[in-house]
Amino acid sequence: MAATTSRVALITGAGRGIGRAIAERLADDGQDIIVADVPSARENIDAVVAAVEQRGQRAVGVTGDVSNPADVERMIQEGTDALGDLDVFIANAGIAQVDEILDVEPDALDRIIDVNIKGVYYSYQAAARKFIAQGTGGKIIAAASIVAFRPFPVLASYSATKWAVRGLTQAAAMEFAKHKITVNAYAPGVVGTAMWDLIDEKLTERDGKPRGSALQEQVDNILAGRVSEPEDVAKLVSYLAGPDSDHMTGQTVLIDGGINFS
Ligand SMILES: NC(=O)c1ccc[n+]([C@@H]2O[C@H](COP(=O)([O-])OP(=O)(O)OC[C@H]3O[C@@H](n4cnc5c(N)ncnc54)[C@H](O)[C@@H]3O)[C@@H](O)[C@H]2O)c1
């Protein structure tokens, strides 16, 4: 592989939705991309690798489950073996569950905690270890959500996990600063992805309303007057992943078209 001066970013959950938009935006910014997702997302991963390469940057696909710490370490290893030292790690992977506290089964609660909290925790741990071994410092970024500031009642478990991401981001910023590592999170609002398709499906099923109406109802609460696009979020992540945010750490930044105020 030819030597390069490009920065290298690993993005988890990069096969679709917000993660894919981040991969494409960072490629436009001149970064090489390690496209990470679960093994069943192989086709999506390949499509994102191709999209990054079309933009003139290098890309490699890696597979694993972020709730498994060995997978996270291996994905960093495989990605950096192919593309060189890591500069940015984006813990974007996450899952949603539509639930009310009274109805939640232990297995479902375990899974969302495993992916959304432990997955981000292991990502922060593995990324920081890599940056420390390289002696380079680096940038760690995670997906929080508006529900990290004000929960949605029927997304109780999800809200709790995203609130945890905000807390972990603050603690990691404190612990990693001495290694020249910054840690920040982005907090999207209502973004038109497969995740909201699922939320809308579950909510409308529960309330006996037409499909799509739960998403549409959200628009009334958005000052911008529309649902967010993944690209809206990727613009903020571009800033967090680039040198202009070097003086920022420990922050969870809302990017929601005007739903919540921090
Ligand atoms: N869509 C929204 O409205 C919204 C709002 C706020 C925050 N977020 C957060 O942004 C992130 C991306 O959301 P999205 O809407 O693009 O979701 P999405 O469901 O469209 O994509 C998520 C991706 O993560 C991958 N993934 C899931 N579990 C994984 C695991 N255990 N290991 C590795 N990869 C895994 C999936 O395969 C998928 O490709 C998530 O953390 C989500 O919670 C989304």
How does 165-190 read in b/e, with b if 16+ C-beta sit within 10 Å?
bbebbeebbeebeeeebbbbbbbbbb
Q: 3-state class of 94 per DSSP?
A: coil
- By the 8 A CB rule, do 184 and 249 touch? yes
Protein residue closest via CA to atom 1 of ligand 1? 191
Nearest atom in ligand 1 to 96's CA: 43
Q: Are 75 and 11 in contact (CB under 8 A)?
A: no
| Predicted confidence (pLDDT) at residue 251 exceeds the cutoff of 50 | yes
What is the distance between the alpha carbons of residues 8 and 30, in angstroms, rounded to a whole number?
9
- According to the model, what pLDDT value does residue 5 have? 66
What is the pTM (predicted TM-score) of this model? 0.97
Q: How far is the CA of 179 from the centre of ligand 1 (A)?
A: 29
Q: Which amino acid is at 20?
A: R
Q: Check if the beta carbon of residue 185 is closer than 8 Å to that of residue 253.
A: yes
CA of 182 to the centre of ligand 1 (A): 22
Q: What is the mean pLDDT of residues 130-138?
A: 98
Distance 90 CA to ligand 1 centre (A): 12
CA of 121 to the centre of ligand 1 (A): 16
Q: Using alpha carbons, select from 89, 99, 140, 91 the residue that is nearest to residue 116.
A: 91
Cα separation of 45 and 11, whole Å?
A: 11
Q: Would the CB of 12 count as within 6 Å of ligand 1?
A: yes
Note the pLDDT of residue 6: 83
Residue 99's pLDDT is: 86
Ligand 1 site, residue 237, Cβ cutoff 6 A? no
Domains of the chain: 7-191+229-255 (3.40.50.720)
Could you tell me the pLDDT band of residue 3, with boundaries at 50, 70 and 90? very low
Higher pLDDT, 23 or 215: 23
- Supply the pLDDT for residue 1: 43
> Is 94's C-beta closer than 6 angstroms to any atom of ligand 1?
yes
What is the widest separation between alpha-carbon atoms in the chain? 58
- 35: β partners: 11, 61
Residues near 106 by Cβ (< 8 Å), separated by ≥ 6?
Answer: none
Determine the average pLDDT of the residues in 87-100: 96
Q: Say yes or no: CB of residue 200 within 6 Å of ligand 1.
A: no
What stretch of H or E contains 206? helix 194-207
pLDDT of 2 > 80? The answer is no
Strands 252-255 and 181-188 turn out to be parallel
pLDDT digits (tens, 9 = 90+) for 165-214: 999 999 999 999 999 999 999 999 999 999 999 999 988 998 899 999 99
Catalytic residues: 158
Which phi and psi angles does 75 have, rounded to 5°? -65, -40
Distances (CA, A) of 233 to 121, 141, 142: 22, 13, 12
pLDDT exceeds cutoff 90 at 132: yes
In short, whether 97's Cβ falls inside 6 Å of ligand 1 is: no
Q: How far is CA 252 from the centre of its chain?
A: 12
Q: What is the DSSP string of 123-140?
A: HHHHHHHHHHHHTS-EEE
Amino acid at position 178, single letter: K
Of the two residues 212 and 72, the one the predictor is more confident about is 72
Q: Is 80 in the pocket of ligand 1 (CB under 6 A)?
A: no
Ligand 1, residue 115: give the atom nearest the CA. 31
Query: How far apart are the CA of 228 and the centre of ligand 1, in A?
Result: 15
Pairing type for strands 59-63 and 31-37 reads parallel
Instruction: Looking at the CA of residue 228, tell me the nearest atom of ligand 1.
Output: 3
